[in-house]
A and B are shown apart, each in its own frame.
Chain A
Amino acid sequence: MRRTALAAALAAALLSPAMANAQVRILACEPEWAALAEEIGGEDVVVHSATHGGQDAHYIRARPSLIAKVRRAKILFCSGADLEVGWLPVLMQRGAGRIVQPGQPGHIMAADHVEVLERPEVLDRSLGDIHPGGNPHVHLDPGNIAILARLLTERLEQIDPDRAEAYRQRLASFQARWADAVAGWRERTEKLRGMKVVVHHKAWVYLLRWAELERVAVLERVSGIPPTASHLVEVLELVRNSGARAILRAPFEPEDASEWLSGKTGIPVVELPFTVGGSPEAGDLFSLFDSTLALLEEARDRS
């Protein structure tokens, strides 16, 4: 008797594909898209993020757990533009179902749906780990978040039509709150306009364009390869009398180069959250932008 029950339980565990809950399973490659999926999907979805706020999504491993998650996912929600090229292809070939394959409703690559900046004119590996599809970090412009919110809602409606109304309602609520927040941020960015900054990696272009900050220098000259001493000296010359107010760094970027430059110039290093979960304050998409602006304002006022 007990053995039968055990066997049945085992069989159920092995074979039943999420019979118990019919929630839509979403695998997000980055925490910002997971956060957006939570906003739109609410309790009707189960969201997993392949990376956490402290991780650089370029360089994670195609872990076994991700194969299991993509196997069950109805929606795969990523930045795209080759950001995940080091590991996502393995998932796509190894576990991913038909619905999340390119061209299917469950396949969302954010960069395919917004204006992508920094599309390289020359492709050569000597330029480092460049992205032929342009800069993939599109989430740091609130306008792009709004675009993706709408797109995700449409896809959810397609995949789970029974709860289309719930998704639409959550979208409406999100859009209203987002518009409010964007208005508030707009006031704040107006006062930040033209602020000069140094960045570690080119990951900040969307934020810089949206907040109208001015990039004075990039520490990582060759993308994906740590800056060399000679390049840092060049950057030092460039930055010394530039009036830069902050050196921006993401939580996953190495500290040494930015700290060195800060020590030489007195320009403060500002570690921005970069994504949801990138700092204790950045708990969701709203607080991500709130705390990012607060840190920039602090840097502006400090010097």
Chain B
Amino acid sequence: MSGLIGFLRAAAIGLPVLFAASVAQAQSGPPTAEELAAQIGDLKKDYEKRIAALEAQLAGMKARPPAAEQKAAPASRPSMRSGDNSFNPAIGVVLNAMFVDRSDEEVGLPGFQLGHESERPEKGFSLGHSEVTMSGNIDDKFRGALALGLGAHGSETEVELEEAYVQTLAGSGLPDGTRLKAGRALWTFGYLNEQHAHGDDFADRPLPYRAFLDGAYNDDGLELSVVLPGDIYKEIGGGVFRGGDIPFGGSETGREAWSAYARIGGDVGRNSALRLGAYVLDGEAHGRAGGAHAHDEEEDGHGHEEEEHAEGEEEDGHEEGHPHAELFSAGAFTGDTRLFGVDFRYTWAPTGNARDSELILQGEYFHRSETGSYTLQEEHEECEDPSPDPNNPHGHEVCETHVDEMAEDLNGSSSSGWYAQAVYKFLPQWRAGMRYARLSPPSAAELDNDLSTVSAMLDWTNSEFGRVRFQYNRETFGETRDNQFILQYVMSLGAHGAHSF
């Protein structure tokens, strides 16, 4: 093809000269040199035009393969290998570790159950959640994904099935904009819940996520969502779930929770965008307990899963004199729990290029209302000295196991929490951020104070795939203050999914 064009191009230069000469001779009288030059110039232009038109046509021909070939791979990709590997799912690995220094005093989550995922980070070096993800299209109608979280707790490696879901593709036959997702997934609730934690802008989840969702709600169930037609982004959806994950737990029927949400969003001017959402998540909990391992032995008065701490004499330092708070943090909840949430996220890239500089503002507010009861059973042994019976010199200690039970019935007990954060990318590879989070314990817990955390972070992003972050947290509850310093890296290799807004 290029040979042909080259030939034409040569002809375009050569031909006009001959042609012009012969035309010129046929005219009356010998033409002047200027006339000749002008004529040649005109002709040359004319030919170049035609050649360009030919080029365009040739190009067009290339673009239109014969009808029979239309479904085949495009001509420009002749060497596509089609071994078994090309159908492998996209595999990605996220590596994540931190170094932490912090105060000895632990604020914890007074008035709330401390879940497994919401413990404060361990001192010194530790691995966070490493993650392995696999995803791919199943066929023309479905797509599937699997995400495993690998966490190290002491010498044990824990594997958590974070996500394992299938969802419909546009070819599924559902109306445009409609998607059905089933299995286990990070369901739609607020902004952060859908995101994997390694994509967060801070090293830890904010207080309301720790208190109400134990990091994130990833239950088993299914969710339908619909993007409504129109120039403005509007999405509605809802789901039904097993009720096996915090804020629920101990599901009896296997379908005890439901959710609904609505979102709206759009561009604000040329270089910024906004999204707002409102959410509800409602269901039954049966004996929901926090289940976190407390770290500090001397404070571990309520490690109710840890049988070795059966002494039970010690009260948590900061909860002393708040038996109700103890009930709410260490007790088990059975009843109806309903979460409302609203969120916003605003991004602004001054030049339109988020890669150079960008400001992200984000905030969420959660409100929880619970009707049911908290119960706390504490077992402890009381031993009496053997009775001074001279007839029985081999008298054993007499021990009895006492079970103290505390319980409180609630009717619409409410608690709430919110956070707001700003993250600014001031250089292409550097971002700084601030976050304030606040949590109001249930009034029945009779705690006088709210919890609050102020966080500051600075991170360096070498490429899209590697990030190193420094974060400072100051958690406050009454007189208790916990200063935490976190140095973290989050790196991903392999397939790296596109980011949602």
Specify whether A and B are partners: yes
Q: Cβ of A300 < 8 Å from any Cβ of B? A: no
List, in ascending order, chain B residues with CB within 8 A of A90's CB.
498-501
User: Which of the 9-residue segments A35-43, A113-121, A191-199, A265-273 touches chain B?
Assistant: A113-121
Q: Is A63 a contact of B501 with CB atoms below 8 Å?
A: yes
Residues of B within 8 A of A116 (CB): 76
Is A17 an interface residue, CB under 8 A from the partner? yes
B273 within 8 A of partner (CB): yes
> Does residue A15 face the partner (Cβ distance < 8 Å to B)?
yes
B179 near A65: Cβ-Cβ < 8 Å: no
Are A96 and B356 within 8 A (Cβ)? Answer: no
B63 contacts A113, C-beta separation under 8 Å: yes
Within the assembled complex, what's the spacing in Å between the Cα atoms of A112 and B55? 19
On whether the beta carbons of A178 and B233 are closer than 8 Å, the reply is no
Interface string of A270-301 (1 = CB under 8 A from B): 00000000000000000000000000000000
Q: Which residues of B contact A128 (CB under 8 A)?
A: 463
Q: When the two chains form their complex, are residues A179 and B267 in contact, meaning their CB atoms are under 8 A apart?
A: no
In the bound complex, residues from chain B placing their C-beta under 8 Å from that of A1 are none
A224 within 8 A of B: yes
Tell whether, in the assembled complex, residue A65 and residue B230 are in contact, meaning their CB atoms are under 8 Å apart: no
Chain A binding surface SS class: helix
Would B347 and A61 count as touching, CB distance under 8 A? yes
Distance between A83 CB and nearest chain B CB, rounded to angstroms: 12
Q: B354 and A60: CB pair below 8 A?
A: yes
Kindly identify which residue among B167, B351, B429, B498 contacts A62, using a CB–CB cutoff of 8 Å. B498
Give the chain B neighbours of A225 by CB distance below 8 A.
462-463
| CB-nearest residue of chain B to A72 | B229
The residue of chain B having its C-beta at the shortest distance from the C-beta of A100 within the complex is B170
Known: A14-B230, A143-B55. A101 touches B273 (CB 8 A): no
Q: Which residues of A contact B465 (CB under 8 A)?
A: 125
| Residue B270 at the chain A interface, CB threshold 8 Å | yes
Please tell me if the beta carbons of B501 and A64 are within 8 angstroms of each other in the complex.
Answer: yes
**Is B428's CB within 8 Å of the partner chain A?**
yes
Nearest A-chain residue to B174, judged by Cβ: A98
Q: Does A16 contact B (CB under 8 A)?
A: yes
Number of A positions contacting B (CB below 8 A): 72
Residues of B within 8 A of A67 (CB): 227, 233, 235
Q: How far is the CB of A176 from chain B (nearest CB, A)?
A: 8
Interface hit among A48-56, A162-170, A238-246: A48-56
Q: For the complex, is A89 an interface residue (Cβ under 8 Å from B)?
A: yes
Give the docked Cα–Cα distance between A149 and B57 (Å).
Answer: 11
Most chain B CB atoms below 10 A, which of A17, A87, A98? A98
Q: Are A61 and B59 in contact (CB under 8 A)?
A: no
Q: How far is the CB of B6 from chain A (nearest CB, A)?
A: 13
Question: A146-B56, A182-B52, A225-B463 are known contacts. Are A71 and B229 too (CB-CB below 8 A)?
Answer: yes
Contact A17 B499 (CB under 8 A): no
B347-377 CB mask vs A (1 if < 8 Å, else 0) is 1000111111000000000000000000000
Chain B, range 484-501, C-beta contacts under 8 Å to A: 493, 497-501
Q: What 0/1 pattern do residues 91 to 114 of A give for CB contact below 8 A with B?
A: 011111110110100000001111
Are the CB atoms of B267 and A187 closer together than 8 Å?
no
Closest to A150 in B: B60
Segment 161-192 of B: residues with Cβ below 8 Å from A: 167, 169-171, 176-177, 179
A63→B353 CA distance, assembly (Å): 13
Q: Which residues of A contact B429 (CB under 8 A)?
A: 226
**Which residues of chain A come closer than 8 Å to B500, judged between CB atoms?**
62, 90, 94
Contact present for A56 and B353 (CB under 8 Å): yes
Residue of A nearest to B466 (CB): A125
Residues in chain B near residue A237, CB distance under 8 A: none
Given contacts A14-B228, A14-B234, A97-B176, contact A52 B352 (CB under 8 A): yes
Which residue in B52, B229, B265 is a CB contact (below 8 Å) of A18?
Answer: B229
B266 touches A187 (CB 8 A): no
Q: Does A260 contact B (CB under 8 A)?
A: no
Expressed in whole angstroms, the Cα–Cα distance for A125 and B233 within the complex equals: 35
Q: How far is the CB of A222 from chain B (nearest CB, A)?
A: 8
Q: Interface residues, chain B, CB within 8 Å of chain A?
A: 45, 48-49, 51-53, 55-57, 59-60, 62-64, 71, 74, 76-77, 143, 167, 169-171, 176-177, 179, 227-235, 263-267, 270, 273-275, 347, 351-356, 428-429, 462-465, 493, 497-501
Given A52-B352, A60-B354; 12 other pairs, CB 8 A cutoff: A54-B352, A55-B353, A62-B498, A67-B233, A92-B170, A93-B169, A94-B179, A97-B170, A101-B171, A125-B463, A150-B63, A187-B48
23 A-B Cβ contacts within 8 A? Answer: A15-B228, A17-B176, A59-B353, A61-B501, A64-B263, A67-B233, A67-B235, A68-B231, A71-B177, A85-B498, A86-B499, A87-B499, A90-B501, A93-B167, A94-B179, A94-B227, A113-B62, A125-B463, A125-B465, A129-B464, A179-B56, A180-B49, A183-B51
